[in-house]
Amino acid sequence: MQIAETVPRYLGLPKSVQIRNDLDLISIIRNRLSRNNFNYVRNELNMSQKEFSGTLKISEKTIQRYKEDELLNENISEGLIEIAEIIALGVEVLGSKEEFLDWLHSPVISLGSNTPVSLLDTHRGRKLLVNVLGQMEHGIYA
């Protein structure tokens, strides 16, 4: 299964939404995701609202003020998509969501013994996680 096919599931998007390429992702970012999507991704990671708000650089009080279907800004939407891509790739590489969540919260030597979850708060950190998961997918354990 292609990673792009599973990303909408981890965002809580309807099954009718299809992501075929980066242009589809850009369109979703520009149209923006909602607080519902924020909560869906947060629940997929088993994170508290406070933890996940910090990860996406939005205050907990600000996210609480949003109505469920109210649209977030493009930066938050892009962060949600990047995290959903990491979830999709991680589940595929590690074999299950439980294994992925265990990996996410465990120190990884190739990440300087940092936990992957601690790197979700920056674009560069998310990119690094995609690279590490890609290496793991190809049998390279740095």
**CA 6/CA 22 separation, integer angstroms:** 14
- Let me know if residue 94 belongs to a domain: yes
State the angle between helix axes of 74-94 and 97-104 in degrees (0 to 180), rounded to the nearest 10: 110
Q: Which residue has the higher pLDDT, 51 or 141?
A: 51
The count of other CB atoms within 10 Å of the CB of residue 47 is 18
- Let me know if residue 82 belongs to a domain: yes
- What pLDDT, on the 0 to 100 scale, is given for residue 142? 53
Structure tokens at 90: 């991680």
- What pLDDT, on the 0 to 100 scale, is given for residue 15? 86
- Let me know if residue 142 belongs to a domain: no
Asked whether residue 114 carries a pLDDT value surpassing 80, the answer given is yes
- Let me know if residue 37 belongs to a domain: yes
Asked whether residue 47 carries a pLDDT value surpassing 80, the answer given is yes
Find the domain containing 97 and state its range: 3-137
Q: Average pLDDT of 24-49?
A: 96
**Overall domain count for the chain:** 1
